[in-house]
Amino acid sequence: MSAPNKSYDPVEVEALKPEVIERMRDEALAAFAAAADLDRLQEAKTAHTGGTSPLALANREIGALPPQAKADAGKRVGMARGAVNKALAARQAELEAERDARVLVEEAVDVTLPHDRVPAGARHPLTTLSERIEDIFVAMGYAVAEGPEVEAEWFNFDALNIGPDHPARGEQDTFFVEGADAASDGGSAADSGVVLRTHTSPVQIRSLIDREPPVYVICPGRVYRTDELDATHTPVFHQVELLAVDEGLTMADLKGTLDHMVQELFGGEGMKTRLRPNFFPFTEPSAEMDMVCYVCRGESVGNPDRPCRTCSSEGWIELGGCGMVNPKVLTACGVDPEKYSGFAFGFGIERMLMFRHNVEDMRDMVEGDVRFTRPFGMEI
Amino acid sequence: MRVPLSWLREYVDLPATETGRDVQAKLVSAGLEVETVEQLGAGLKGPLVVGKVLTIEELEGFKKPIRFCTVDVGTANGTGEPQEIVCGARNFAVGDKVVVVLPGAVLPGGFAIAARKTYGKTSHGMICSGDELGMGDSTALGGDGIIVLPPEHEAGTDAVELLELVDEVLDIAVTPDRGYCLSMRGVARETATAYGLPLRDPALLDVPAPNSFGYPVRISDPAGCDRFTARTVTGLRPDARSPLWLLRRLQKAGMRPISLAVDITNYVMLELGQPLHAYDRSRVQGTIGVRRAEQGEKFTTLDGAKRVLDAEDLVITDDRGAIGLAGVMGGANTEIADTVVDAASGEAQGTTDVVIEAAHFDPVAVARTARRHKLSSEAARRFERGVDPQAASAAAQRTVDLLVLLAGGTAEAGVTEVIAPSAPHTITMPADHPDRVAGVAYGRETVVRRLQQVGCDVYGQDSLTVTVPSWRPDLAEINDLAEEVIRLEGYENLPSTLPKPPAGRGLSGRQRLHRRVGRALAGAGYVEAPTYPFVAEQVFDQLGLDADDPNRRVVKLVNPLSDEEPALRTTLLPGLLATLRRNDGRGSHDLALFETGLVFHPAAEGTALASAPPVDRRPTDEELAALDATLPEQPRHVAAVLTGAREQAGWWGKGRPSDWADAVEAARTVAREAGAELIVQQGQYGPWHPGRCAELSVYLESAEAADGSRGDIVPVGHAGELHPRVIKALGLPARTCAMELNLDVLAEAGEGVVRAPRISTFPVATQDVALVVDQDVPAAVVEAYLRDGAGELLEGIRLFDVFTGEQLGEGKKSLAYALRFRAADRTLTVEEASAARDAAVARAAETTGAVLRGA
C-alpha cells in the first residue's frame, strides 16, 4: 500500500474516478446477474469482490489520497462495494433457492408406497372389551377380582344357594374334574368336588369371604359349559360379573349402575336398561336385564319402514341376569344380611361383542384367525 | 308351558280385543318369560268343511296310488252335489268323515286352493292332513295321512271352528321358582292379576269328603309322599275317543293325544298343574303303597325301559311290587291297555276300570330319581318345581268327572285321602322390607294388597305375618315376598340411582402387568389368540416330553366334550400351535401369535375333601384351606409362536424369516414389562430344537438368600426354534419358533421401583474389541466377564458382529463388541479408556479363553 500523499490529486488517480468505480460496480452486478449457477456465481464473486478484484484494488488506492479526497473516494468505493455485496447476496440466495428446489424435486419419493415390513399385532377383542368394561367400574371405585378357573363346587354352587339337587348341578352343563386319585382307584371320579367354573360367581364368593364389606368388585374371566361349539355357542366363554355389598343398597342402585354401564359402553342419548322378573338361586329378587338397542334406540319397534337387524326390531337387547344378592349367599360368606344388602349382575362378553361389533359367528371369536383379530388393534 | 289364548280366556274375561302379543307384554312384565306367541291358522280362509266320503275310485297307471273320491260336503259347495276330489292319501274309507278344503280357500302359509286338473281328473278341492292345517301332531286323527274325524260330525259343518284352527299360543319358559305356572290355573292367576280382573279358579270344585271305602292306600314314607288321593271309576267304554275339543287343547299345549283316559289325566294336569296317574284297576293287586325302593330292585317303566332302582327312589307299589316311579313315570305292569277292536265281533276290548292317583311327592326325591334314571317327564318337571298339594283332591275329582262325562264311566263312592299333617308356611316380614329392597316407598297398604293378590293371607301393621298360598312353595324368605311386591308394582317403574362406593385403588400390579404384556406383544406384531384349554394326552408325545416330565401330569375331566381331549393343558403351546396351523392352512403364512392364560397342574394326592362346608355360616379358615387344597395349581402363562417372515420383503429390500432369536426377544419383551432381568442360557427341552433352545430364568428373592445375593435363579420358561420332530408330529411349517413363560413367577421377579441413573455429560470414549473364543462359549458369558473386567467406567457394551471363518480355525468364533466408557466427573483420556478395555479383555481371556483378535 502506498504512503499517504497529501499533494496527490485524486482526479489523477484513474482507478478512483467516479465513472470508473461505477463501471466496476456495474460490471460486477452484470456478472452476478449473468451467473447461471452457484459455481459461476462463485467465480464472479472472486472476480468482483475478491482481494484482487478491481474494487478491492481501488479501495487500496484510497489511503494515498489527501484527507478531503480520501473521504470522497472512500464514500464512493464503499457505496459501490455495498451495492456489489448486496447484489451478490441476493443472487446467491436466488441461486440457492433454485438449486434447493431442483434437488428436493429430484429427491421426491412416492409416499404412497406401502410399508408393511412388520405387520401390526393386535389384542383379542374379548380381552379388550372385558378391559373396557372393567375400566368403567374401576373409575367408579370398584376393584377387579379374579379367581381360579378350576374351582371347588362349594364356591361354584353351594355358596351360591345352588344346592346339591339343583338342576344346574346336573351333568348337562358342568364339566366335572376327576379326583386326584380317580385314576388309581378307578371310582368316585365325579365326586372330586371340583369343576370347571360355570360362571365367574365363585369369584364373588371369594371376594366376600376375603374382604370386609363394603365390597365393590367386578369379576371378569373365562367360564366353561358343556356346549358344543357352533355359530352361537362355545364351551369356553367369558363373563363379567359385578358385586356390590354395602349398607342400604337397593334395586334402584342396581338399575342405576346398569344404566351407567350401557351409557358408557354405547354412549349417547337414551341408553338405558330394563329389568324383567326372573329367577336365579343366588339373587332374590332376580331379574333379566335388557338394554335399549344402541342402533335403533327403540325406533324400529312397530316401524316396518325402519327395521333393525341388531335387535330384530324388538327395541331391546338381552344382556344377562341380575338381582339383589340372596341373603343366604351373604350368610354363607359370613356377611350379616340384617346389616348388609347387595346387588350383582353378570353377562357374557362374547354376546356383547357379537352385537356391539356385528360378529355373526361365534367361531370367529374362538378360532384365532388373525384376519378377524387384527382390525381390533389395542383397545376397543 | 304352552298356553292357548282361547283356553286362557275360559278363566279370565280378557277384553275381546286383547291379542296374544298384548297378553305376552303383560305377563313378561309380571315376570313370566313368554318366549313366543304362535299364530295358529294364520292366513287360513275357508271354506273348510266336514265331508263324508261317498265313493272311492282307485286310479291306475300312476307312479303312486291315487284315489278319485266323491265327498258329501252338505251345501258348503253351493250345489249340494258330491264334490269330486283327487287324493293321494290312503288312510280313509267310504263313509269316513274328513276335512275338505274347497276352491277359493287359502290354507296356512298362503296356499290358495282352486279347482285343478291332475291325474286326468279335475280335483275340486282337497282332503286335508293335520300338517296342512297347521295342527301339530295329529296321530289320534289319522296319523301321517289325512284327518279322519269322529263320525258324529255332520257333513258341511265349518271345520275352522270345529277344529279351533285359528288361535294364539303363548309359549312360556317357566323358571324353577314358578312351578304353579306349569298350569293353566297358574298362568290364569298371573293374567288376572296383571289385568286386575277376577279369576275363575278351576280348582274350586265340589269334592266329596274322604271316606273309608275308597281304594286302599298305605304310605310307608310320609316324608316322600305327604298326600295321596285315590279315586276309582268303573265301566269305561273302551271305544270312547277323546272329543275334538280335548284333542285340540292337548295338541295346542304340545302334548300328543294317546287314549281317552290318558288324555284326560294329561288335560287335568295342564289345567290344574297336578300330575295324575291312571292305573288299570284289573292289573293292580291289593293295597297301593308308597315306599323307598330296595337297592337293586328291578322295574319296567311304561316307556318300556327296564330300570334298576336305587334305595332313594320313591316307588308306588301293589301287593306284588313296584307299579310306578313316584311322580316320574308309571309302570308297564299297570298301564292302561290300548283299545283293541276284535275283528270278528267288531267289539272293542280295553281298560274299563281305573284307579286315579293324585298325590304329592317330595320335590327333591322326584328330582333325584328323574336325574338318576335320566327320565324327564311332564310329571317330574312339575313335582320338582313344586305342585300345589291342596289341589290334589280337586284334580282327582276333575278327572273323575271327565271320565264319567266322556267315557261313560261310573264314579265309585269311595274316596281315599291319605294326608300327612302340615301347617301352612308363614313368614314374618317388616312391612317396609320391600321398600328397602327396591329403594322405592311403596307403603304398607300397597305391600299388603300385592301380597294378597299373590294369594297370601297378611296380618299385622309394622311387622307383617304372611301366610303363603299352598301353590307357592317357593315363597320361603322375606326377599321372596319383596320380589312379589316389586314385580307386581313393575320392575320397569324402579328408579335409577347410583351407589357411592368408597375410594378405589384401581387395578392391581398384576392386572396392570397382564395388560402391559398384551400391549407390548401386540406392539411387537403379535396377534392375541386365546385358545381352549382342552388337550389330548398324546400331545405330550408329539411335543417330545420325557416320560417323567411333570407337564405330563394333567387334570382330567370326567365328562369332556370330546373323549379325544379329556385333559386340561399344562402348557399353552398345543392350543397356540393348533391356531398357528389353522391360520397357515387358511393362507396366512407369516404369523406371530400370543396367548396369556392359565395352565393346570394337579393338586397333590390325598387332598380330596371329606365333606363340603355348610352354607349357613362362613367356612372356617381351615375349611377354606381344605377347599383350596383340592384345586390344581393354576399359574398364568404367556406364550408366543412364530412362523414365516418376521419382516416382509418389499420395495425396501429383502424380508427376514422369523427365527429362534425372535422367540427369545418376545420373552425379553415380556420380561421387560415385568421389570425382571431375564437370564438366557443355552438349554434343552422337549419341544425345542436341542441346539436352538434358550432356557430362561430370573432372580427371585428368597428368605434364605445370602446378603448381597440377587436371590435364587428360578426357571421361567423356554424360547427358540421348535424341534424338527415336533414340527413334523404337529404338522407345522418348518422352522416354527415358540416361547413360553410363567407369568406369575415373572411378576414376582419384578424389580420394583426404578432408581434413576446418574447421567454424565462428559464425552464418551468408545473402544471396539473382537474376541476369538471356542464355538460353544456363550456370548452372554463373554459379555458378562467383559462387564465384570471393565469396571465402573463402562457405560455400555454391545455385540455388533459374530464371525466364523477358516482364518479363525476350526471350532472358533469371533465376537466383536463396542464398549462405551464414560466417567461421571471428567473427560476420560485415551489411556484410561484403553486400560479399562484391556482389563475387560483380560478378564474375558482368563475366564473364557478368549483371545483378542489381531493382537
- Can you list the domains of chain B with their CATH numbers? 2-41+168-195 (3.30.56.10), 48-165 (2.40.50.140), 217-419 (3.50.40.10), 426-492 (3.30.56.10), 509-604+622-750 (3.30.930.10), 765-854 (3.30.70.380)
CB contact under 8 A, A144 and B508: yes
| H or E segment to which residue B248 belongs | helix B244-252
Note whether B818 contacts A: Cβ–Cβ < 8 A.
no
Farthest CA pair distance, chain A: 136
Collapsing DSSP to helix, strand or coil, B310 comes out as coil
* A113 within domain boundaries: no
Residue A54 binned pLDDT confidence (cut-offs 50, 70, 90): confident
Note whether A168 contacts B: Cβ–Cβ < 8 A.
no
Mean pLDDT of A99-117: 88
Same domain, A60 and A169: no
Residue at a domain's end among A40, A75, A106? A106
**Residue A250 belongs to what domain range?**
125-376
pLDDT for A267? 86
pLDDT for B361? 95
Write out the DSSP string of B730-767.
TTPPTT-EEEEEEHHHHHHT---SPPPPP---SPPEEE
CA Rg value for chain A: 44
Tell me how many residue pairs between chain A and chain B have CB atoms under 8 A apart: 298
The shortest C-alpha distance from A341 to chain B (Å) reads 8
Mean pLDDT of B811-816: 93
**pLDDT per residue as tens digits for the range B436-479:** 999 999 999 999 999 999 999 999 999 999 999 999 999 999 99
* A368 within domain boundaries: yes
Higher pLDDT, B423 or B215: B215
Same domain, A188 and A324: yes
**pLDDT per residue as tens digits for the range A244-298:** 999 999 999 999 999 999 999 998 778 999 999 999 999 999 999 999 998 888 8
* A292 within domain boundaries: yes
Higher pLDDT, B342 or B621: B621
pLDDT for B133? 83
pLDDT averaged over chain B?
91
CB contact under 8 A, B527 and A183: no
Same domain, A313 and A186: yes
Whether pLDDT at B703 is above 70:
no
Binding-face residues of B in 482-501 toward A, CB within 8 A: 482-483, 486-487, 491-492, 494-499, 501
Name which of B178, B557, B641 to mutate to probe chain A: the one with the most chain A Cβ atoms within 10 A of its Cβ.
B557
Residue B66 binned pLDDT confidence (cut-offs 50, 70, 90): confident
CB contact under 8 A, B558 and A151: no
* A1 within domain boundaries: no
Alpha-helical segments (H) within A107-211: 125-138, 153-156, 182-185, 201-210
**Cα B656 → chain centroid:** 47
For residue B653, give the DSSP letter.
B
Phi and psi of B496, rounded to 5°? Answer: -120, 110
Angle at A331 between CA A190 and CA B223, to 5 degrees: 60
Binding-face residues of A in 52-111 toward B, CB within 8 A: none
Binding-face residues of A in 312-351 toward B, CB within 8 A: 324, 326-328, 331-334, 341
pLDDT for A185? 45
CB contact under 8 A, A285 and B487: yes
CB contact under 8 A, A150 and B634: yes
* A166 within domain boundaries: yes
A193 → closest Cβ in B526, B555, B630: B630
Collapsing DSSP to helix, strand or coil, B12 comes out as coil
Same domain, A191 and A284: yes
Same domain, A372 and A252: yes
Q: Residue B733 to residues A118, B521, B561, B662, B682: CA-CA distances in angstroms?
A: 19, 22, 29, 16, 24
Note whether A131 contacts B: Cβ–Cβ < 8 A.
yes
Smallest Cα–Cα separation from A268: which of A293, A250, A234, A289?
A: A293
Phi and psi of B325, rounded to 5°? Answer: -90, 110
Residue B549 binned pLDDT confidence (cut-offs 50, 70, 90): very high
Number of Cβ within 10 Å of residue B550's Cβ equals 10
Same domain, A100 and A228: no
For residue B246, give the DSSP letter.
H
Same domain, A92 and A217: no
* A119 within domain boundaries: no
Same domain, A19 and A73: yes
pLDDT for A186? 43
Question: How far apart (Å, rounded) are the C-alpha atoms in residues B431 and B357?
Answer: 41
pLDDT for A188? 46
Residue at a domain's end among A73, A106, A139? A106
Domain count, chain A: 2
Mean pLDDT of B759-774: 93
CB contact under 8 A, A138 and B607: no
The shortest C-alpha distance from B308 to chain A (Å) reads 20
Cell of B827: 473427560
Note whether A301 contacts B: Cβ–Cβ < 8 A.
no
Same domain, A202 and A306: yes
The residues pairing with B291 across neighbouring beta strands, listed in sequence order, are B315
| Phi-psi region at A313: left, alpha or beta (left = phi > 0; alpha = psi -120 to 50) | left
**pLDDT per residue as tens digits for the range B72-82:** 988 888 888 88
Binding-face residues of B in 426-485 toward A, CB within 8 A: 436-440, 477, 479-480, 482-483
The reported pTM is 0.84
A334 → closest Cβ in B561, B618, B646: B618
B362 is in an annotated binding site: no
Alpha-helical segments (H) within B360-477: 363-372, 378-385, 392-407, 433-438, 444-454
One-letter amino acid for residue B300 of the chain = T
Residue A266 sits in a domain of what CATH number?
Answer: 3.30.930.10
Whether pLDDT at B242 is above 80:
yes
Residue A183 binned pLDDT confidence (cut-offs 50, 70, 90): very low
Question: How far apart (Å, rounded) are the C-alpha atoms in residues B431 and B445?
Answer: 9
B439 → closest Cβ in A114, A154, A252: A252
Residues of chain A contacting B508 with CB distance shorter than 8 Å: 143-144
Residues of chain B contacting A212 with CB distance shorter than 8 Å: none
Number of Cβ within 10 Å of residue A333's Cβ equals 24
Whether pLDDT at B594 is above 50:
yes
Question: How far apart (Å, rounded) are the C-alpha atoms in residues B281 and B287?
Answer: 11
Query: What does the CA dihedral B701, B702, B708, B712 come to, rounded to 10 degrees?
Result: -70
CB contact under 8 A, A253 and B499: yes
* A320 within domain boundaries: yes
Q: Which residue of A has its CA nearest to B376?
A: A167
Same domain, A293 and A369: yes
Same domain, A61 and A156: no
**To which residue does cell 429362534 refer?**
B660
Residues of chain B contacting A220 with CB distance shorter than 8 Å: none
A257 → closest Cβ in B498, B527, B597: B498
Cell of B397: 275329582
Residues of chain B contacting A183 with CB distance shorter than 8 Å: 556
CB contact under 8 A, B616 and A122: no
Whether pLDDT at B139 is above 80:
no
Residues of chain B contacting A278 with CB distance shorter than 8 Å: 31, 33, 175
Residues of chain A contacting B177 with CB distance shorter than 8 Å: 279
Same domain, A92 and A163: no
* A318 within domain boundaries: yes
